[in-house]
A and B are shown apart, each in its own frame.
Chain A
Amino acid sequence: DTAVSQTPKYLVTQMGNDKSIKCEQNLGHDTMYWYKQDSKKFLKIMFSYNNKELIINETVPNRFSPKSPDKAHLNLHINSLELGDSAVYFCASSQGLPQSYNEQFFGPGTRLTVL
């Protein structure tokens, strides 16, 4: 059973397009996250939702819009894609509140390439 799943695994698109990445967790966790990992493997938090409520909204261009239809899903929509958006995007989840000591479970990642 896949704990945290993301679709698609690979996404290749042209500049200016709009795309979405979907994430689902079957762990019953309350909090979900989106991270961006750049080409140097640096990992940075983008957003966090707790029970469908936005908790963390880092300095991310407003072209990025997360949506949480329920606490098991957190999707990421990106408008007007730019070359600099090319990266691997990871979804993660954890039990309880974001500030708890519970570890996060990561999805397999979505490799986004903007041409």
Chain B
Amino acid sequence: AQSVAQPEDQVKVAEGNPLTVKCTYSVSGNPYLFWYVQYPNRGLQFLLKYITGDNLVKGSYGFEAEFNKSQTSFHLKKPSALVSDSALYFCAVRDPHSGAGSYQLTFGKGTKLSVIP
């Protein structure tokens, strides 16, 4: 079974500082990994994904994520945080080789990012 963990309920960072939102996953094969962002009272928006290839993936709004197979992690990063980055961030995983389970995208519980002016 596939699963994903976001170990931090909340991350606080000062504006202009680098930010990291952590995600670890568990799958039987090679995963598809995604990051989504949810602003208050809005639906989720896609940020970036890892399918295969380069471990460093670049996405929307200056975000990037690094796939680390040995640590089974896919941490979201941004070099310089903006107040407008404050939102709820979700990591998600799909194991394309898990049979019927591959149809599902499993989400983490979310990490609330607060960027302090």
Contacts and interface: CB of A to CB of B under 8 A. Distances in A.
Interface of A: 4, 40-45, 48, 55-56, 58, 90, 92, 98-99, 101, 103-109
Given A41-B110, A42-B109, A101-B96, A106 B43 contact: yes
Nearest to B32: A101
Contacts of B45: 106
Interface string B74-117: 00000000000000101000101000001111010110000000
Given A40-B109, A90-B43, 9 more contacts: A45-B104, A56-B103, A56-B104, A58-B104, A101-B51, A103-B34, A104-B46, A105-B46, A106-B44
Contacts of B109: 40-42
A4 B32 contact: no
A81 B38 CA distance: 27
B42 A109 contact: yes
Contacts of A58: 104
